[in-house]
Amino acid sequence: MKNYYRIMLGRKSAFAEEAFKGNFIGADFDIHQDLTGKLPENWREFNKAFIPVYLEKNPGKTKISAGLACGALWTVCKGIRRGDVVLSPDGSGSYYVGEVLDDYSYHAGHVLPHQRTVKWSNVRIERASMSEALRNSTGSIGTSSRISQYAEEIEGLIGGDKPPTITTNDANIEDPATFALEKHLESFLVENWKQTDLGKNYDIFEEDGKLA
């Protein structure tokens, strides 16, 4: 099953363009060692081993911060699988979209040494075209966030589909979408009135002479 992730490429997307041109996603977190063979299936085991390493490099950080950092590193290196889709902000209001092609590899001396090869799409998703829920999820704090619950919307945006926008020229209508929904409901009730419980009761009252 394919999963979807938002991945930040450096603080404020500082390395997004480099990652796009180099066809990779990556992370750092001051863990300057090859993690090949050190990435268990369970992130808790990874955190147990590497939180002390992180804190040694960052003595001013809390264990909670260390846990979040190591968890994000594990996600980039191991949690994301081949075939998963990643969205990475480019720093200008859009998102690169790519498919992860391989497993973890280490690139010593690189700004983001813990890497995964990615095949980036030519399509970029504009943040403004996302639903509010997807914008909130992709804008969450941290290096990584899982956004698989929005798979259908993301695939639609990748394909160029956008949700229809309801507009009106009537200045008296404040919310066109709500107005359209109310009109649809009104039409439905008119056409199906006799099939509703209220409509059936109304007919009974008329027959009994209790309602003129």
What is the structure's pLDDT at 184? 46
Pairing of strands 4-7, 85-89: parallel
What is the structure's pLDDT at 171? 52
Q: How confident is the model at residue 1 (pLDDT cuts 50, 70, 90)?
A: confident
Which of 48-62, 75-89, 159-173 bottoms out in mean pLDDT, i.e. has the lowest? Answer: 159-173
Residue 95 DSSP label: E
What is the structure's pLDDT at 141? 87
**What's the one-letter identity of residue 112?**
L
The C-alpha atoms of residue 91 and residue 185 are separated, in whole angstroms, by 43
What is the structure's pLDDT at 195? 61
pLDDT, average across residues 65-90: 98
Cβ proximity of 151 and 35 under 8 Å: no
| The model's pTM | 0.74
Q: Both tokens of residue 125?
A: 């998703």
Side-chain half-sphere of 40: how many Cα atoms within 13 Å?
11
- CATH number for 4-158 (one of 3.10.590, 1.10.10, 3.30.1060, 3.30.565): it is 3.10.590
What is the structure's pLDDT at 188? 47
- 145-197 pLDDT, tens digit per residue, is 999 999 999 999 998 654 444 444 555 555 444 444 454 445 544 555 456 55
| Residue 81 CB coordination number (10 Å) | 12
When computed from its CA atoms, the radius of gyration of the chain, rounded to whole angstroms, is 26
User: 């991945």: which residue's tokens?
Assistant: 7
Phi and psi at 6, nearest 5°, equal -100, 125
Comma-separated ranges of CATH 3.10.590 domains in the chain = 4-158
Q: Please state the length of the chain.
A: 212
What is the structure's pLDDT at 201? 52
Q: Both tokens of residue 62?
A: 């809390």
Query: Where are the extended beta strands (E) located within 62-171?
Result: 85-89, 94-100, 105-106, 114-126, 144-146
Pairing of strands 94-100, 24-27: unpaired
Cα of first residue to Cα of last residue in the chain, in angstroms, is 62
